[in-house]
Amino acid sequence: MFNKIKENIKFAALAAPVYAQETIKITSKGDDFKALENLTVGSIISGAINLVLVVVALVFFFILVVGGLKWVTSGGDEKKVGAARAQITNALIGLAIVFAAWAIMKLIGTVFGIDIFNLDIQSFQ
């Protein structure tokens, strides 16, 4: 039983790289899913990068707003003001890191001609 499972895993491991380079073909009768017909691994990766950057920027912005609210509601307590100031500083550093990562990706795209935000991985077929 274990040998059969091991053989199936070996087969899946050998076949997986072949499937990763193919374009996913999805056909539909209507125009609702027309954009999904030419879905590639590169477009999935670039979409994930864009999504992660947006989500992380929103999270740090939310942390910044919460830190500001903590500062306003601290009532002059030095410990609460210090904690709120530290939270605001950390949120600003996080936002700076996110925007620096975005700028570095744009710079890589400009210098090397690799558009990471619109990635297209070529296959060898």
CA atoms within 13 A on the CB side of 75: 0
Per-residue pLDDT band for 79 (boundaries 50, 70, 90) equals: very high
Residue 24 resides in a domain: yes
Q: Mark 52-74 as b/e (b = at least 16 C-beta within 10 Å).
A: ebeeebeebeebbeebeebbeeb
Residue 16 resides in a domain: yes
Residue 84 resides in a domain: yes
Is residue 122 over pLDDT 70?
Answer: no
Q: What is the DSSP string of 46-58?
A: HHHHHHHHHHHHH
pLDDT digits (tens, 9 = 90+) for 86-102: 999 999 999 999 999 98
The count of structural domains within the chain is: 1
Residue 124 resides in a domain: no
pLDDT digits (tens, 9 = 90+) for 9-47: 665 555 555 545 555 565 556 666 666 666 777 778 888
> Which of 59, 58, 80, 60 has the alpha carbon at shortest distance from 70?
80
CA distance 19 to 16: 5
Domain range for residue 90? 2-118
